[in-house]
Amino acid sequence: MHQEQPLWSPSEEFRRATPMYGFMTWCEARAGRPFATYDDFHAWSIEDRGAFWSAVWDYCDVKGDKGGIALSNGDRMLEARFFPEARLNFAENILAGAGDGDALIFRGEDKAKDRWSWDRLTQMVSRLQQAYRAMGIGEGDRIAAMMPNMPETVACMLAATSIGAIWSSCSPDFGEQGVLDRFGQIGPKLFICCDGYWYNGKKQDVADKVRAVVASLGVPAVIVPYAGDAPALAASLPSGRTLEVFVAPFEPKAVDYVRLPFSHPVYILFSSGTTGVPKCIVHGAGGTLLQHLKEHRFHCGLTKGERLFYFTTCGWMMWNWLVSGLACGATLCLFDGSPFAPDGNVLFDYAAEEKFAVFGTSAKYIDAVRKGGLTPRTTHDLSCLRLMTSTGSPLSPEGFSFVYEGIKPDVHLASISGGTDIVSCFVLGNPLKPVWRGEIQGPGLGLAVDVWDDEGQPVRGEKGELVCSKAFPSMPVMFWNDPDGAKYRAAYFERFDNVWCHGDFAEWTEHGGLVIHGRSDATLNPGGVRIGTAEIYNQVEQLPEIAEALCIGQDWDDDVRVVLFVRLAADVTFTDELAGAIKTKIRTGASPRHVPARIVPVADIPRTKSGKIVELAVREVVHGRPVKNKEALANPEALELFRDLPELSK
């Protein structure tokens, strides 16, 4: 797909003013070699990863003792160790500011507003730290939270990591079994939760769920007041206290940061778990910190005092990513609830009021704004907005165009992709390069990203597996309850020896960017030809009659046929004419091989709590196989819509 002009290009003046350019020129002097282009800089960052990550540490003024070794066993991914002699504390580096300036700004739909200064945040971290220690919580202990994306959640995490405890969180919309499937595996010493939350303008009660979870986990609970009656809920638990009561005995003092090894666990995150009990992915403090500093400061250009927003819940790794923005001295803008309550303008109202510099969201949100007929560029003052990021699923070419036509014509749009597995991005934005429609700008610094065919050979101009061929700091430390590392190796290293295989179906572009065509385990194989589901969605979802689509491969006649499910827009009826229009659109926009054998209208499409559609779970239902963990889904009842469909038996 040849494009004459990029959607956005940085001027030379803009490029030279970016933190990325400043870091690149600093590294030139340090490495004693010139970097004529970003590509030269990136090549050096993977050739000499020890020198590169050491430069990130020094340039970003990481607090801690770096030690004398930057990388040992660098050629072996599973044995590689970054900064094996280092000592640092995650929270000490994240809690970077002081004073009465804004650290956290909060909106809970139109029901709640709050604003925390750096001093208020630090004081609460100090009191929580003392309260944790009084309970006997220390290094390596787990603290689990079922919380909204609110300031208290950030404070509870920072206090946990300040003493070397391991933080793990989910959002309060998880069902009881979903919470237990996660936290039941990791044996927390404390459970922190809210007394209710708001969604779509309505108060959501969690009392029965909290009581059941606490009883199953058998741990004390701290109840954070938000939408209900925290004292009553706390009183109904065997060892429950409100947050106020929990910290009441302790006066704020200087936070005591425990410096620990670079790879000391900081977070336990969970895979989506739609094909079984979620994997418990353990991330190290140092690798998470360095990777986030690199992404925020250089790829996003985040500077002190800027406003950083990401629409996320505490059950998605983008929350962990967002919180690290504090390390740059940025102000975090937190939001909890529906992005369409009371209407689709709510996040843009927030962006205009608080002057977001960076607005992060999902591809599905951008598409919903586009289909809702909103044009924020004409209704909102977004003059401070310089970067918009999109993740969760591939952003369609139409989504790219809409951002420039409907939101802001001069914004830097960065489609980003990585995942829970690395708590960060493999491929993302780059302020030194242009933005081309439908393309991610390129790989992150220090990451040896490539696209390989089934034989393990690099490919250009064709689709293949997204891989990372050299070790990097934000690889998981381990999986929990995986003593011999078998689950960890199976997850990433079974496909290619000594190479991380990420499970994305990807393709390099002529501009050195990438297109993600969907998850490779959801890739369609009709007639033995691999097709990415995103290629089909990009076509179908351009049609105004289609609100959303989901595609699977159905085993049929000793082959696989493509089946497309569509959720129709309001007041649209499915007809033969519409089916024909869908097929024509796919045939002309993608290829004849992409045209589905069956198109089936459905009332709803199942998705995870973070909004990703679940192709694999639907494929299991269609083939009559059980879905092992429906608790991972936001709307598990939607799966029943796909069972025993007559259209799929002919």
pLDDT in tens, 351-376: 999 999 999 999 989 999 998 999 99
What's the burial of 187, exposed, middle or buried (CB within 10 Å: 0-12/13-18/19+)?
middle
Domain boundaries, the chain: 89-338, 523-649
The pLDDT score that the predictor gives to residue 171 is: 93
CB atoms within 10 A of CB 257: 21
- In the block, tokens 């490919």 appear at 459
Bridge partners (DSSP) of residue 201 are none
pLDDT above 70: percentage of residues in the chain: 98
The CATH number of the structural domain formed by 523-649 is 3.30.300.30
**pLDDT reading at 2 higher than 60:** no
pLDDT in tens, 246-305: 999 999 999 999 999 999 999 999 987 655 678 999 999 999 999 999 999 999 999 999
- In the block, tokens 């100090």 appear at 126
Local confidence band at 560 (pLDDT 50, 70, 90 cut-offs): confident
The pLDDT score that the predictor gives to residue 9 is: 98
Residue 479 region by backbone torsions, left for phi larger than 0, else alpha for psi between -120 and 50, else beta:
beta
Q: What spatial distance separates the first Cα and last Cα of the chain, rounded to whole Å? A: 36
**Dist CA 383 CA 638 (whole Å):** 40
Report the range of poorest mean pLDDT among 56-60, 326-330, 464-468, 581-585.
581-585
Backbone phi, psi, residue 410, to 5°: -115, 20
- Average pLDDT of the chain is 94
The pLDDT score that the predictor gives to residue 529 is: 67
Identify whether the C-beta of residue 613 lies closer than 8 Å to the C-beta of residue 550. yes
The pLDDT score that the predictor gives to residue 276 is: 67
Report the range of poorest mean pLDDT among 164-178, 227-241, 394-408, 554-568.
554-568
pLDDT above 90: percentage of residues in the chain: 81
Backbone phi, psi, residue 173, to 5°: -85, -5
The pLDDT score that the predictor gives to residue 146 is: 97
Q: Which of 539 and 534 is assigned the larger pLDDT?
A: 539
What's the burial of 221, exposed, middle or buried (CB within 10 Å: 0-12/13-18/19+)?
buried
Whether the upstream peptide bond of residue 342 has omega within 30° of 0, thus cis, is: yes
Classify 301 as helix, strand or coil. coil
* Strand stretches in 195-340, DSSP E: 197-199, 202-204, 221-224, 240-242, 260-261, 265-270, 280-284, 307-310, 331-336
Report the range of poorest mean pLDDT among 14-18, 217-221, 344-348, 617-621.
617-621
Tell me the mean pLDDT in the region 607-631: 84
**pLDDT reading at 129 higher than 80:** yes
Give 13-72 as a DSSP string.
HHHHHSHHHHHHHHHHHHHTS--SSHHHHHHHHHHTHHHHHHHHHHHTT-SEE--S-SEE
**pLDDT reading at 3 higher than 70:** no
The pLDDT score that the predictor gives to residue 273 is: 62
CATH 3.40.50.1820 fits 89-338, yes or no: no
Residue 255 region by backbone torsions, left for phi larger than 0, else alpha for psi between -120 and 50, else beta:
beta
Structure tokens at 525: 């194989």
Tell me the mean pLDDT in the region 176-188: 93
The pLDDT score that the predictor gives to residue 274 is: 58
pLDDT in tens, 444-460: 999 999 999 989 999 99
Bridge partners (DSSP) of residue 281 are 269, 479
**pLDDT reading at 1 higher than 70:** no
The pLDDT score that the predictor gives to residue 336 is: 97
The pLDDT score that the predictor gives to residue 227 is: 92
Tell me the mean pLDDT in the region 338-352: 95
Report the range of poorest mean pLDDT among 29-38, 153-162, 264-273, 423-432.
264-273
pLDDT in tens, 583-607: 999 888 877 778 899 999 999 999 8
Q: Which amino acid is at 25?
A: T
The pLDDT score that the predictor gives to residue 329 is: 98
pLDDT in tens, 29-83: 999 999 999 999 999 999 999 999 999 999 999 999 999 999 999 999 999 999 9
The pLDDT score that the predictor gives to residue 610 is: 74
The pLDDT score that the predictor gives to residue 531 is: 76
Q: Which of 331 and 630 is assigned the larger pLDDT?
A: 331
Tell me the mean pLDDT in the region 375-387: 98
pTM of the predicted model, to two decimals?
0.89
